[in-house]
Amino acid sequence: MVIKTDALIVGAGPCGLFQVFELGLLGIKSHIVDALESPGGQCIELYPDKPIYDIPAIPVCDARDLVDQLLEQIDPFDPTFHLDQQVTDIEKIDELSFHIKTSKGTEFEAKSVIIAGGVGSFQPMPLRVEGVEQFIDKQIFYRVRDPNLFSGKDVVVLGGGDSAFDWVIELAQTAKSLTLIHRSEKFRAAPASVQKMRELEKAGVVRFIVGNITDLMSEDSQLKAAEIRLNDSSITELSLDHLLVFFGLSPKLGPIATWGIDLEKNQIPTNTHNFQTNIPGIYAIGDIATYPGKKKLILSGFHEAALAAFGIKERISPDQKVHLQYTTTSPIMHERLGVKS
Ligand code: FAD
């Protein structure tokens, strides 16, 4: 089934989320796609617990709170999220519409596309050990889709951040054995999770090793064990059924570079009138957009989203004059926001 929509937003970072709001005020419903499993872009992936001080009228808020507030703000416009999938293809159907496809096979026909792709899709940082590829998504995983797979198994988790610790805590009750390996005793994970892991270690449920995996051993194409270099440079071997790798995520521009849109040093040049790209009907906002004087700040992306929304309204309703209205006084905006005039 092809989903028809007036506006498809690529990227659910802070700017993509605010784009939903600005479009919603003008009566345009959006679909929004992100390669990540949850919305928030860099704010959630790179600095969820860091305070932000330069959002207008919010003296300070954690990045995670900002995303939560944006989600609450756009709730009245009921956007449809398509998460955990990358937009892979955008092709022009005719002057008025585009055909868009994602890595999960979701297809859209959209009158306008807004690229809010930030610095690109976040991809897991790979485990760099010879022969790793043949086991990916069979015995080695960069994300957990079905935790039941690890029940009653010998599981090794790599990493020192929140994902690694969250899964160690989650799988502690069901795995046959659970080992956490990290290159040092310094962790990026939340202190409460570190404390919980230490408690599980004390109780003998989790084994913690400081070291790095240097080799993989297999038998009949089955991964059987990993060679680990310990802190003192000695080598040990650990049997395992599954290896979960959480080395963090790094952004890659990815398929955006193949859509025929002009690029300038991995950013998309736009006009500053409505943030349209070189392809009419495709807009770019947030970190991925560039123009003279561009600053990669959340507040710049919010402004760009507002003007792009007006441009999109003019494109999809060319016969309607688009007036500027205030949210304080506009009855139609109150109706769209679900508040009383
Ligand atoms: P992003 O947040 O990068 O989100 C883009 C989203 O697009 C991602 O979720 C990505 O997965 C998705 N995506 C990309 N390509 C595809 C595709 N093909 N298909 C599907 N999804 C795709 N800014 C401030 O204003 N104030 C600050 O104090 C501040 N502090 C910062 C601190 C740190 C450590 C960092 C790294 C940045 C900081 N920034 C700050 C910058 C701010 O985070 C960015 O300006 C902002 O996140 C840009 O938002 P965005 O929505 O454009 O892109």
Q: Choose one of 21, 30, 42, 252 to mutate for the ligand 1 pocket test, by most ligand atoms within 8 angstroms of C-beta.
A: 42
Tell me the pLDDT tens digit for each residue of 221-230.
999 999 999 9
The token pair that represents 199 in the structure block: 């408690």
What percentage of residues in the chain have a pLDDT greater than 70? Answer: 100
At 50 the pLDDT is 86
Boundary-marking domain end, from 205, 221, 247: 247
189 and 228 belong to one structural domain: yes
- Is the model's pLDDT at 47 over the cut of 80? yes
Q: How far apart are CA 32 and CA 77, in angstroms?
A: 12
Tell me which amino acid residue 260 is: G
- Is the model's pLDDT at 341 over the cut of 80? no
104 and 78 belong to one structural domain: yes
57 and 74 belong to one structural domain: yes
- Is the model's pLDDT at 122 over the cut of 90? no
Residues with CB under 6 A from ligand 1: 10-16, 33-36, 41-43, 46-47, 52, 54, 86-87, 116-122, 254-256, 286-287, 296-299, 301
Boundary-marking domain end, from 179, 214, 247: 247
243 beta partners:
140, 156
Q: How far apart are CA 189 and CA 163, in angstroms?
A: 8
Q: How far apart are CA 156 and CA 23, in angstroms?
A: 46
Quote the pTM value: 0.81
80 and 178 belong to one structural domain: no
| pLDDT (mean) for 104-132 | 94
Q: Choose one of 100, 261, 298, 304 to mutate for the ligand 1 pocket test, by most ligand atoms within 8 angstroms of C-beta.
A: 298
133 and 155 belong to one structural domain: yes
255 and 114 belong to one structural domain: yes
234 and 215 belong to one structural domain: yes
118 and 257 belong to one structural domain: yes
Measured from the Cα of 54, ligand 1's closest atom is: 26
**Domain tally, the chain:** 2
260 and 114 belong to one structural domain: yes
The DSSP annotation for 170-211 comes to HHTTT-SEEEEEESSS---S-HHHHHHHHHHHHTTSEEEEEE
164 and 229 belong to one structural domain: yes
- Is the model's pLDDT at 65 over the cut of 90? yes
Measured from the Cα of 102, ligand 1's closest atom is: 19
267 and 175 belong to one structural domain: no
* CATH number of the domain bearing residue 227: 3.50.50.60
Q: Is residue 70 exposed (0-12), middle (13-18) or buried (19+ Cβ within 10 Å)? A: buried
> Nearest to residue 302, comparing CAs of 8, 15, 75, 52?
15
Structural domain harbouring 277: 2-122+250-337
213 and 298 belong to one structural domain: no
Boundary-marking domain end, from 209, 226, 247: 247
